[in-house]
Amino acid sequence: AQSVTQLDSQVPVFEEAPVELRCNYSSSVSVYLFWYVQYPNQGLQLLLKYLSGSTLVKGINGFEAEFNKSQTSFHLRKPSVHISDTAEYFCAVSDRGNTGKLIFGQGTTLQVKP
């Protein structure tokens, strides 16, 4: 079984500052890792994913994440945030295609202030 923990429920940050949203997971098998974003009153859309290969993954809107197998982490970063990045962010893991099920973390609300 897998589980995901997002260490911060809310992250306030000023515009143009860097941000890191933290995600740790636990699993007895190899996993795929995902970050999804949910803008207000919308569904979830994929930001980025790690399947294999390079541990640094680049996604849309300037976001990137680094897979750290020894620390079982997949933290999301952006060097300079914009007001439009205000949203809820979800980290998720899957069991590498066996069932395709995603296990989600609790979510982190990123609040970008002017």
Partner 1 sequence: DADVTQTPRNRITKTGKRIMLECSQTKGHDRMYWYRQDPGLGLRLIYYSFDVKDINKGEISDGYSVSRQAQAKFSLSLESAIPNQTALYFCATSDPGVDTQYFGPGTRLTVL
Residues that bind partner 1 (CB under 8 A): 4, 6, 9, 32, 34, 36, 42-46, 49, 51, 90, 94-97, 99-102, 104-107
In the complex with partner 1, the residue whose CB is nearer, 77 or 96, is: 96
- For residue 93, which phi and psi values (nearest 5 degrees)? -125, 155
- Residues of the chain by 3-state class (helix, strand, coil), percent to 5: 5, 55, 40
Closest CA to 60 of 50, 47, 75: 47
Shortest Å distance, C-beta 35 to partner 1: 12
Kindly tell me which of 13 and 44 has the beta carbon lying closer to partner 1: 44
- Which of 15, 59 has the CB closer to partner 1? 59
